[in-house]
Amino acid sequence: MIKKAFFVFILGLAYLISLLPFWLIYIIADGIYIILYYITGYRRKVVDENLLHAFPEKSDEERQIISKKYYHYLADLLLESTKLLTISKREVMKRVHVTNPELITDAFNEGKSVIGVLGHYGNWEMGALRFSQLFNERRVIVYKPLSNKFFDNVCIHMRSRFGATLVSMKSTMRRLIEYKNERTVTVLVGDQTPAKPEIQYFTEFLNQPTAVFLGVEKLAKYTNSAVVFCDVRRIKRGYYECSFKSLFTEPKLTANYEITNAHVKYLENVIREEPQYWLWSHRRWKFKPEDLN
């Protein structure tokens, strides 16, 4: 009972924060940055190790600059994501500019569905809400359920506010088979870490062997859907630009792991351009190839 009351309190607080104007949101975010970086040192060891392994060619000072920029952005991301609980459609449209939605509609006109892949880069949650507004065809967002059912339901509600269909990772294939007579655009996050029993493949990502899901590749080949990368970049504080980049139009003609390696490499190139906007505090490299022997 006490635990449930605590969750309700946290949700109520988040809801109240979501009603604040953006200018005030960012004043609060500046304070959270100080707490995260200077006071609590939230996952500083994880971030420092990740940056060291990803950018061994950079100096300690260069990696320190990236780290500080990352924590400042992480504070913004936390508050922006809270804002999504109540943000209006018009506000999302203003803050996320989509440069080329016709890349998706052209695929629809050719009779194809689309598999979109993105990373934990920029504000992927706000990008997903903007994506939900773009097309009349079914928009599917694949998500990894949270262990806490209370917050899992909150996230499902937030992500489906503008009409997207939420599908859990383990149900994706079955649900897309159900939608086989519809044109769909399905978006997956491609840089999640598989649980150890689920690991089937390692690829090179940010200078180290990295376990990756093969879901994008398997879904694209099974449904013969075009594969695009959803490139979400931060333009300035609170504003983003999303561009769709075609990776494969005939996935059944690709070699094994070709699709997976391509979308992982695309994300790596994006990260190297402006590394502070990727989720460095995530324990992305928990497993190594030798762990499976």
Q: What is the pLDDT of residues 139-194, one digit of tens each?
A: 999 988 877 787 788 888 888 889 899 999 889 989 998 998 899 999 999 999 99
pLDDT value at residue 1: 66
Closest CA to 28 of 77, 64, 66, 62: 77
Reading the chain (293 residues) residue by residue, the pLDDT tens digits are 666 677 778 888 888 999 999 999 999 999 999 999 999 999 999 999 999 999 999 999 999 999 999 999 999 999 999 999 999 999 999 999 999 999 999 999 999 999 999 999 999 999 999 998 998 899 999 988 877 787 788 888 888 889 899 999 889 989 998 998 899 999 999 999 998 889 999 999 999 999 999 999 999 999 999 999 999 999 999 999 999 999 999 999 999 999 999 999 999 999 999 999 999 999 999 988 887 76
What is the DSSP secondary structure assignment for residue 37, as one 8-state letter?
A: I
pLDDT value at residue 293: 66
pLDDT value at residue 210: 96
Q: How are beta strands 184-189 and 226-236 bridged, if at all? A: unpaired
pLDDT value at residue 154: 80
Instruction: Using CA atoms of 133, 138, 139, 140 in order, give the dihedral in degrees to the nearest 10.
Output: 160
Domain boundaries of the chain, sorted by first residue: 2-83, 95-276
pLDDT value at residue 114: 96
Q: How are beta strands 114-118 and 239-248 bridged, if at all? A: unpaired
Q: Which backbone phi and psi does 89 adopt, to 5 degrees? A: -60, -40
Phi-psi sector, 238: left (phi>0), alpha (psi -120 to 50), beta = left
